[in-house]
Amino acid sequence: MQHKLLRLKKNEILRNMCAETNFLNDQLIQPIFITEDSVSKKIIPGIPDNYVLDVKSAIHQIKIDLKNNCRNFILFLVPSSKKNINFDLSFQTTTIKKIKSFFGDDIFLWADVCLCSITKHGHCCLFDKNKDIDLRNSLSSLSRIAVSYADAGLDGISPSDMMDGRTAIIRKSLDESNHEYIPIMSYSSKFASNFYGPFRFAADSKPTFGNRKQYQLDYRNKTDAIKASQRCCAEGADLLMVKPGMHSLDLIEPIKKKTDLMVGAYQVSGEYAGIALAAEKNLLNFNEALIESWHVMKRAGAQFIISYGARKFKELGLSGK
C-alpha cells in the first residue's frame, strides 16, 4: 500500500500534530460527543467538563475550546434512531457539514468510524443469522460511513472497530471517491478493556449481548497487539494508536519500530476518570496529575494524545502552538 506523505501536511494543525520535537497543543485531541436527541448538555459520569451535546451546544463548546488553544477534535456522533442494516447517516453528515462550515480550517476534525453507536445491538460489527461476525457487510458499512463523512467535509477518518481489513477498504473507498488526501488515524491496537465505561454511556454503545472480546485485542497479548498495528500500517493507515493509552505504554515504541509510523495514545474515559475521582477525594492534584500522565505517554513515545482534558491545555500553563 502506497503511503502519501502529503496527507499529513495539509494544514498547520495536522503538521503541528505530527511535529516530533515539541509538545504542542495540536498534539492533544479533544473528544466531542454529539447526540441527535433534543438535549443541550448531558453530564458524562466520571469525566468532568465533558458532556453529550446537541449540535448547537457543540459549536458553542468548540468556540470556547478555540479560545483555550484547543483546535484538534474527534467527533463521536450518536443518532437517535438505531438499525442493524441500511443505516441512515443524515444526522452525522449534517452535523459534520454544520461544524466545518462554521469553523472551516480553524479546527481539524476527525471522526470515529464504527458501528457501535448506530446499531441496535451496540457492537462494532454486523452479524449473520448465527450471530457470527459478518465481515463483508461490516466492512462495506464502515467504508460507506467513511466516504459519507469525507463527502460532508471531515478532515480525517479514525476507524475503531478492529475488523480485519477495514483500513484497506476505507483507504480504497476514500481514494476512489477523490478523498486520497484524507488521512486515516487508525485505532490500530485496541484492547477489550475494562476502562471504557464512561465512554459507552456517552456514546450509547454498550453491547446488548455478549462482549467485544471476539474482535478487540486480549490485553494479555503483546504480540497480537503489535501485529494489529502492522496490519493497519500495511493497509494504508497514516497514523496509528494504542488504546487504552495509559495501559499500553509498552507497545508504543515497538509499534513505531515495526511500522515506521507515528503512534498516538488514547487516554480513555476510565483512565481519565480515575484521575478525576482520585482528585475529588483529595488524593491528588488533578491538573498536576493530568500533566504528568500526558508527559508519561509522550515519554513512552506517543506522538499525539486523545484526552478528555485536551481543552485544559491553556489552563494547565502548557506552552507551544
Catalytic residues, by residue number, are 190, 243
Cβ 311 vs Cβ 287: under 8 Å: no
Give the number of other CB atoms < 10 A from CB of residue 304: 25
Decide: helix, strand or coil at residue 83: coil
The β-bridge relationship of strands 51-53 and 28-35 is parallel
Task: For residue 105, give the amino acid letter.
Answer: D
Pairing state of beta strands 41-43 and 51-53?
A: antiparallel
For 97, the grid coordinates are 457539514
Measured in degrees and rounded to the nearest 5, phi and psi for residue 246 equal -70, -20
Q: From CA 89, how far away is CA 193, in angstroms rounded? A: 28
Grid cell digits, residue 299: 515519554
Distance CA 125, CA 144 (A): 14
> Residue 182 gets which letter from DSSP?
-
C-alpha span between 9 and 17 (Å, rounded): 10
- Kindly write down the DSSP assignment for every residue of 163-179, as one continuous string: -TTHHHHHHHHHHHTT-
